[in-house]
Structure 1
Amino acid sequence: MEEEFKSPIRSSDLVENMLIRAVLQGEYPPGSELPPERDLAAKLGVGRPTLREVIQRLERDGWFTVRKGQHTLVNDFWREGNLNTLVNIVQSSEEVPEDFIINLLEVRSVLAPAYVKDAVHSCPAKVVAALTEIDELKDAAEVFALFDWQLQIKLVYLAKNPIYRLMLNSFGAIYVQAARRYFMIRENRQLSRQFYQDLLAAAMASDYQKSERVTKEVMEAVLRNYKNQVSRRRMLEEGFDNETMERMGR
């Protein structure tokens, strides 16, 4: 982190990302104070006006509290933040933490049944059109990741509530990144293919209640599978063998 700070930076966006990473990585933990403006600007290699602009911008997103005559306070961003805070985390992270992805999947398991139901209720024919090529879908992680993302985008645009669109649009990069990892496992691709077929049948019958039900079931299964994948990977890193993990149900 120190080496990154010593590099001369002129873009306020880069400075913003580096400050966020410093908070996320614990260099400036919640409850601590940022260094004096002059020192921090020199450390970042930018002018004080640029730094001041960035800190004010991040204050609006819940990262900092600027106090007159005192050092800037680092907030607990999970308490003080907003939707922009989540976008900040995604955009500034080279690799999004798995626990963060799990949290997003938990949110999606609540939202997706609602916007899928809304889409099928409003435009069943367009939902059918979005699913017509599932039989030709190549059995590969990259293909499934991109198809699933494009399908979710189409569904939220067919739903009535524009908030769904704003939320999903904010997480395109992390969605595809996590989906590639998830779809590396063949059983997960099979689960999603079955979901696409079930959703197609529901849309063809204009059965929006069934579409809500099958979406809820698959989202819960995806969340459960992803948690198991993460748990298994961590256990392997800790030295557990496959036989032990199988006995533990991993």
Structure 2
Amino acid sequence: MPFQKIVMPTMKELFVRQMENMILSGELSAGEQLPNERDLAAQMNISRTVVNSGIQELAKNGFVCIVPRKGTFVNDFLRQGNLGTLTSIFHHSGRQFDLSMLTALMEYRSINEQKCARLAAERHTAEDLKHMFELLEQLETCCDPEECAEVSTRFHRAIFIATQNLIYPLMYNSFQEMSLAVTRILFRHIPLSHVCSAMRAVAEAIAERDADRAEALMSEHTVRCSQILLEQYPFGSAGTEAGGQAET
């Protein structure tokens, strides 16, 4: 069994992690002003450089708002957050899902994957189709879990790219880490062959430009996956961690 290298977090990472924990736990409330950088550095026994860099990252991830000449304020992240906020919340939970986050993610994926299957059927190019079926064949023959995960990710992205809509594949990439974590859980309860069969049916409908059928098949697949996940909730810790099998 290969062992992974142990990497110590930097002071900036520790600072950001502590601040995120305080915000997510409610210890720092929305609208609250943080101490200035000098005072914060002194209280936490770190350099102002670390504080400044960490505050910038917190702002980028939607946790705080920097107001020139006034200071730094804690955001209401549900109203002012972004995808970086969501990723940080996922990491804060130890890369595990509570029921509300799992349900929210599956609802989001279901709606978007159905729509993208329809658009891909209507708009795909010959090159899109060629790439999609090449990836599908790789998925059907791969055995290594990590390879399956990588190929499946590229296959789903290929459908999103085939929509010819710039936003869809970029949004897909943004949710990739959480989608992979969910898929590792799912693949403990559904055979890869079943997923491949469902995805081949979707790909064939896309190839035939049958948008209604492509959307319906993707809907059937995503609903089934959601049902399986909800039936198996709560999961064991091994199934919720990043790293593992394939994405559906």
- Shared fold per TM-score greater than 0.5: yes
> In the alignment, which residue of structure 1 is the partner of 2:167?
163
Match of 1:210 among 210, 213, 217: 213
> In the alignment, which residue of structure 2 is the partner of 1:248?
none
- Mapping of 1:20-169 within 5 angstroms? 20-30=20-30, 32-35=32-35, 37-66=37-66, 72-90=72-90, 94-98=94-98, 99-121=100-122, 122-123=124-125, 124-138=129-143, 144-169=148-173
**Distance change in 2, residues 1:29/1:190 (3 Å):** farther
* Equivalent residues of 1:102, 1:226 under 8 A apart: no
- Give the SS at the match of 1:186: coil
TM-score, normalised by the number of residues in structure 2? 0.71
Structure 2's unaligned 5+ residue stretches are 1-7, 238-248
Listed one character per residue, the Cα deviations across residues 125-174 of structure 1 (whole Å, up to 9, x for unaligned) are 43333323454354x86565444322212222232111112212123322
> In the alignment, which residue of structure 2 is the partner of 1:201?
204
Listed one character per residue, the Cα deviations across residues 41-69 of structure 1 (whole Å, up to 9, x for unaligned) are 24544322431343244335432244678
One-letter amino acid of the structure 2 residue matched with residue 184 of structure 1: R
- Give the SS at the match of 2:46: coil
Distance 2:44 2:226 in 1: 39
TM-score, normalised by the number of residues in structure 1? 0.71
**Distance change in 2, residues 1:132/1:56 (3 Å):** closer
Match of 2:185 among 173, 181, 185: 181
* Equivalent residues of 2:34, 2:72 under 8 A apart: yes
Distance 2:104 2:160 in 1: 20
Identity of paired residues, percent? Answer: 24
Which structure has more relative contact order (CA 8 Å, sep 6+)? It is 2
> In the alignment, which residue of structure 2 is the partner of 1:244?
none
Distance 1:148 1:116 in 2: 15
* Equivalent residues of 2:118, 2:211 under 8 A apart: yes
Q: Which one has a larger percent helix, Structure 1 or Structure 2?
A: 1
Listed one character per residue, the Cα deviations across residues 73-124 of structure 1 (whole Å, up to 9, x for unaligned) are 3222011112332244346654243332432221111111122222333133
Cα-Cα RMSD:
3.4
One-letter amino acid of the structure 1 residue matched with residue 119 of structure 2: D
Listed one character per residue, the Cα deviations across residues 171-208 of structure 1 (whole Å, up to 9, x for unaligned) are 33222222111211136x45423312311331343323
One-letter amino acid of the structure 2 residue matched with residue 223 of structure 1: S
